[in-house]
Structure 1
Amino acid sequence: MDTDLPGERISVRDTFGIDSPLVVNGFRERTEHVPDVDESYRFNPDVTLAVLAGFAHNRRILVQGLHGTGKSSHIEQVAARLNWPCVRVNLDGHLSRLDLVGKDAVVLREGKQVTEFCEGIVPWALRGPVALVLDEYDAGRPDVMFVIQRLLERDGRFTLLDRNLVLRPHPAFRLFATANTVGLGNLNGLYHGTQRLNQAQLDRWDVVASLNYLPPEEEIAIVLARVPALADDAGRALVAAMVAVAGLTRAGFRAGDLSTVMSPRTVITWAENSGIFGDPALAFRLSFANKCDEAEHPVLAEYFQRCFDRELEQPVPLAATA
């Protein structure tokens, strides 16, 4: 892996559209691990500056927020514009300590089976200029979390007990994480499988940034960029109504009227499905309403009627058609 340090000077104002005089270092050349640039991505100024601080000053950055707000994508898109290699690891329940650290494996050498140590993703990332992003950080298993805790120390040295080896991080190694909660577990019932985080470990993150849903105009612009078929006056009006419905679901969730919220990702899916089915009402049911409790459907129908000025026809039960 390339061991060069980032030396390309990149203007934050010109590259990210943020009113800031900051200039950060990035890489001149792209490699296979640099994410693709999404030209339609909209950057949240505060979160972008926090992520840039992680890249520029080697700070440990945790980005927290509800699902669908683009936490992981935000880090990836910053890395893409800095030409910084970036690798995401999802801390699901199947990821073990051995997956992170490494394990002995039987391999074929010169026609013979031999046992040798195969490094996990953490030692591999530590050796090069890599931004390691730990997705679903608050869903990690306890044994996995204590492996990560050592990476959060100031020097970040990592000990491979299996090889009696201490690894020093590459100067351009960076560590990020994303989480739906702030380490308090599944308080609102939205995120089953999340854990209460060790507060001593949570305290080791240098910066905790919160990424909320975008203002309506920006969300409309993102949906139109992702679904260019709606980039006319009629399409914009349709997307504006969809974003308005999404805003009502978020307000309803905060008020306790709904058990879930419509994320920007779901709005984009709804817009795409409207083109497939030719009916925004049917697409709304298939994209979001059917994910909600049946008792909440009247509330969703009211939201739809208020934004589209038409009734949300409910599907006829099978028993009624028999």
Structure 2
Amino acid sequence: MITPRISPPLRSAAVRELFGIETTMRVPVGTPPDDLAEHVPTVDPAYVFDPDVTLAILSGFAHNRRVLLQGLHGTGKSTHVEQVAARLGWPCVRVNLDGHLSRLDFVGRDTVVVRDGVQVTEFAEGILPWALQRPVALLLDEYDAGRPDVMFVLQRVLEQEGSLTLLDQNRVLHPHDDFRLFGTANTVGLGNTSGLYHGVQRLNHAQLDRWSVVATLNYLPAQRESDIVLGRVADLRTRPELVAAMVEFAALTRRAFAAGDLSTLMSPRTVISWAENIAIFDDVARSLRLAFTNKCADDEKPLVAEFFQRCFDADLDIALPATA
């Protein structure tokens, strides 16, 4: 049975109206088939879109481009794709390419099932052939951490009209008209050069070249990051000055990491966790310790305390262990 297109015919909507971005681009909007409705992400009305990255993602949906988002952790790469899909009414399935996802998991395998009291062997589709045949946006999360045997399965699929050959089944699967493919990665195929991302692989550049759009989403300007935190944590919306100081503190940790003075940094995700902790504990310093300071090496905590003093004009109890 062929899965129908998304709400045929798709309605064309202006990006300016949907996302508030000044452009003449239009994108398809529709309603998914009933069996895929649960895969449409939930709209987050407080989500703040980065214009350049949003346009890159929209080119994937509107023009069937293969879009790879690259950037540091916690910047919201995967969420960005999901929130665009949510506003387009497009089913989106997110798969984490961790080191344990094998080729058989990804493509499928023969399994033994019981039919009419008799054991028979059937081919169970993996997520890739399942998504390829449906009006689904497949999001490959942590793309640069995928195993080589999994990555090479994608070689042909990454082409705009690329098909998938199931050798065990002697079948060639052609992509559904509304199938879309996205990926997110912390690196651009160079491996763990920063020391932050253990487990990522050096990528085959012949495959990397098949991604037709590559966008970068790194840390946002301070005001935009503050807007995101205020949008996500309603309890702090009456305290914008506090959130501005938190974002300033996060920026100091990022500069210290770049200079080699800290071995970890505060991502926007961590800032949001810190804000959520403040809503729970009503204590800025304690919330910071629970969200970030306890992740730092002991010899780096005095520098973290110095940053806290600079941003909040208060002392941070870093509770260093007693020396022998």
Structure 1 and Structure 2 fold alike (TM over 0.5): yes
CA contact (8 A) 1:6 1:25 kept: no
Q: Deviations over 1:199-251 (max 9, x none)?
A: 1111111011000112111111111121111121xx22221111110111111
Q: Does 1:295 align with 2:302?
A: no
2:15 to 12, 16, 21: 12
Q: What residue ranges of structure 1 are gaps of 5+ in the alignment?
A: none
Partners in 2 of 1:236 and 1:196 — Cα distance?
41
Name the counterpart of 2:4. Answer: 2
Q: Does 1:167 align with 2:169?
A: no
TM-score, length of structure 2 as denominator length? 0.94
Number of residue pairs the alignment of both structures matches: 318
Partners in 2 of 1:94 and 1:28 — Cα distance?
34
Partners in 1 of 2:9 and 2:293 — Cα distance?
47
Q: Does 1:308 align with 2:312?
A: yes
Amino acid of the residue matched to residue 245 of structure 2?
A
Partners in 1 of 2:187 and 2:25 — Cα distance?
30
Partners in 1 of 2:256 and 2:20 — Cα distance?
33
Name the counterpart of 2:285. Answer: 281
Q: Does 1:141 align with 2:144?
A: no
1:178 counterpart SS class: strand
1:60 to 51, 55, 66: 66
Percent identity reads: 65
1:32 counterpart SS class: helix
Q: Deviations over 1:138-172 (max 9, x none)?
A: 00000000011121124211101111000110111
Name the counterpart of 1:211. Answer: 217
Q: Does 1:124 align with 2:127?
A: no
CA RMSD of aligned residues (A): 1.6
CA contact (8 A) 2:135 2:179 kept: yes
Q: Deviations over 1:113-154 (max 9, x none)?
A: 221101111111111111111000000000000011121124
CA contact (8 A) 1:8 1:28 kept: no
Partners in 1 of 2:281 and 2:180 — Cα distance?
44
Amino acid of the residue matched to residue 91 of structure 1?
L
Name the stretch that deviates more: 27-36 or 133-142. 27-36
CA contact (8 A) 1:135 1:179 kept: yes
Q: Does 1:73 align with 2:79?
A: yes
Name the counterpart of 1:42. Answer: 48
TM-score, length of structure 1 as denominator length? 0.95
CA contact (8 A) 1:91 1:136 kept: yes
Q: Deviations over 1:85-105 (max 9, x none)?
A: 110110001100011110011
Name the counterpart of 1:177. Answer: 183
Q: Does 1:248 align with 2:248?
A: no
Partners in 1 of 2:321 and 2:146 — Cα distance?
41
